[in-house]
Structure 1
Amino acid sequence: MSKTQHDEYIEGTGCVAAIRRQLVRWSKLSNAGSVLADGYLRVLNRLPRTPLPGRHRAFLLRPKGLSGSILLRPNTTDIHAFADVFYAAEYGGILDFCRPPPRKILDLGGNIGTSVRYWQHLFPDAQIVAVEPDAKNFSQLQKNILLGPAPANVKVICAFAATADGTAGIDRSQGEYGFRMTTEPGCESIATISMLKLIDLLAGQDGQVDFLKCDIEGAEADIFANSQAWIYRIATAVVETHPPYSPEGLLADVMRAGGIVEHELTLPKMEGRAVVYLRFRHP
């Protein structure tokens, strides 16, 4: 996927552009039922106070080529998580970076499992560990893994990935798609969640990870600023950066920690975010 293709998806205004984007989205679904479910989910999300049928049930969408459907909840940001992976092809360039195909994958910020299902589609023999802190998202993650191929190849952990063990608050004010770790005592929608050191998560993968995906809503800044103990264990990574952390800051932290970047690609997103692909070279 090129930068131009990605920008074309996330940019563009006006009715015609919106219709064109929606038609492109629907062309990536496998059947009419999925198209109808996508459309109705968007109606429910746009009219949250309207008493429409199906308000409290989940819907199944199946992208073309995927083995099994994915379960999405209305009145949540699930459709956006689905769209990033299967419509915008946010991780569409990963095949160019993962050579040979990864056997061990660590997914930080598993959310409802859209990325995990994509990894299963691309790398059916991989062993995957997915980490998601929010209990409701975690439950949805488990359901979606069971709907996919080889669920026994996926281990799920309900926790934050962090630089130290302990507990932290979870800020739910930005919706299911943007839950983040916080230490602000006055923040709304806070619950206490366990934290697991990234080095311990890597130990569960026998110390080495072929592919690391990291989308943890700002906590990546602390993770990569303190990556000296583990960066050399990663072969390939895809990291979403969230302001004020930037791709430049990420690269500086990685190199400061001793990581040698063989190839890098940055794809800008909205609101200052970016998806950064990294392939490492190890001496």
Structure 2
Amino acid sequence: MGLAYLRSDADRAAGTGTARVLAREAAGCVRDMAVGLRRGRGAGRVTVPYWMARRFAGAAGTPLDSEALLAFRFATPDRPASVVLRRGQSDLLILWQVFLRRFYELDAVYALDEPLTTLDTVVDLGGNTGLAAAYLTARYRPRRLLTVEPIAESLAVLRRNAELSGLDWIVEPLAVDGREGELEFAVSGFWDTCTAVPAVRELRGSRPHRLENVLARPSRTVPAVTVERLLDKHGIDRVDLLKIDVEGSEAGIFAEARPWMARVARIVMEIHDKYIDGIAVRSTLARAGFHRVPPRVPDPVGFNPVELYIRRA
């Protein structure tokens, strides 16, 4: 297998050599281990660096693909968070994004005009294992958090993290899309990349080196609802933060400006420009009254942009 999984699509497109990729990723692993040492709590000061090293080794050789659970406790700028996750490349990647890189530490990542200390209502579309929801709960102490995840294996871990969070999360076993009905999901043991968008599935499928293909599982059909139906069902009139990571389904959700968008104060969203028309998504956001908050730090190499939008008063 060589070092195939360390090279991103961007590396391949640019012709970046294996030695350069290896040096970059090894240096990143050392930094991640140091951050894990600082941000882990209790035994996590040892186990987080160890599993960051295992993640690197898995990407450099045989990918980790186990559903056995790991337990960690992390610091956030407000209070600690306890979480569980699977011993796999996908969950360790999300752990790195959420608790080491702190993608959802909004004041640090984005140039906000005012400090953001609390969020009353959070809606998480694409909950995966609940790591982002766990961070948002510990950091911003919402009164209410609704999270949505359609893939049963990830949903089971999410429910464990809901129990650990100290908040009674509302958990919906659904997908969210621009229309209601049933969606066919391409499923993989690289769990965070499960997608119902044909363009995403086809392009990723054409690249056999990607972990979605190496760790592929049988596809499945899941129910989908619209954001409006979801908010109405739970009587949510205002969303302080809408977090979206839905592997390309943002194209359907933001195909046009809709009335539910007026209920949302902020959106933090991963936009999959490699696969969908990100310009159209951003145009819809602008028509709905949202403006993008400039980032303070660049997105990591090889990752889709995670962007913050605030609706104008």
TM-score where L is the length of structure 1 = 0.81
Q: Report the Cα distance in structure 2 between the residues aligned to 1:133 and 1:228, rounded to whole angstroms.
A: 23
Number of the residue aligned with 1:275: 306
The answer as to 2:49 corresponding to 1:20 is no
RMSD value, Cα: 3.1
Q: Report the Cα distance in structure 2 between the residues aligned to 1:73 and 1:245, rounded to whole angstroms.
A: 29
SS across alignment from 1:13: helix
Tell me which of 270, 281, 286 is aligned to 1:240.
270
Aligned CA distance change for structure 1 residues 49 and 31 (closer, same or farther; 3 Å): same
Tell me which of 110, 121, 125 is aligned to 1:108.
125
Q: Report the Cα distance in structure 1 between the residues aligned to 2:177 and 2:25, rounded to whole angstroms.
A: 41
The answer as to whether partners of 2:81 and 2:135 remain within 8 angstroms in 1 is no
The answer as to whether partners of 1:59 and 1:73 remain within 8 angstroms in 2 is yes
Aligned CA distance change for structure 1 residues 146 and 244 (closer, same or farther; 3 Å): same
Tell me which of 237, 240, 247 is aligned to 1:207.
237
Q: Deviation of residue 101 (structure 1)?
A: 2.8
- Per-residue CA deviations over 1:208-244 (Å, capped at 9, x if unaligned) read 2111000111111111123322221110110111123
- Which amino acid letter does the alignment assign opposite residue 179 of structure 1? C
Q: Report the Cα distance in structure 2 between the residues aligned to 1:109 and 1:14, rounded to whole angstroms.
A: 27
TM-score where L is the length of structure 2 = 0.74
The answer as to 2:261 corresponding to 1:231 is yes
Tell me which of 178, 191, 210 is aligned to 2:193.
178
Q: Report the Cα distance in structure 1 between the residues aligned to 2:52 and 2:29, rounded to whole angstroms.
A: 16
SS across alignment from 1:189: strand
Q: Report the Cα distance in structure 1 between the residues aligned to 2:195 and 2:240, rounded to whole angstroms.
A: 25
Number of the residue aligned with 2:146: 129
Tell me which of 202, 207, 221 is aligned to 1:192.
221
- Worse-matched range after superposition: 63-72 or 140-149: 63-72
List alignment gaps of at least 5 residues for structure 1: 1-10
Q: Aligned pairs, how many?
A: 264
Percent of paired sites with the same residue? 21
- Per-residue CA deviations over 1:43-101 (Å, capped at 9, x if unaligned) read 38727599xxxx66311111124545211111351111111011111111258477573
Q: Report the Cα distance in structure 2 between the residues aligned to 1:79 and 1:93, rounded to whole angstroms.
A: 21
- Worse-matched range after superposition: 217-226 or 21-30: 21-30
SS across alignment from 1:180: coil
Q: Report the Cα distance in structure 2 between the residues aligned to 1:30 and 1:12, rounded to whole angstroms.
A: 29
- Which amino acid letter does the alignment assign opposite residue 62 of structure 1? R
- Which amino acid letter does the alignment assign opposite residue 158 of structure 1? P
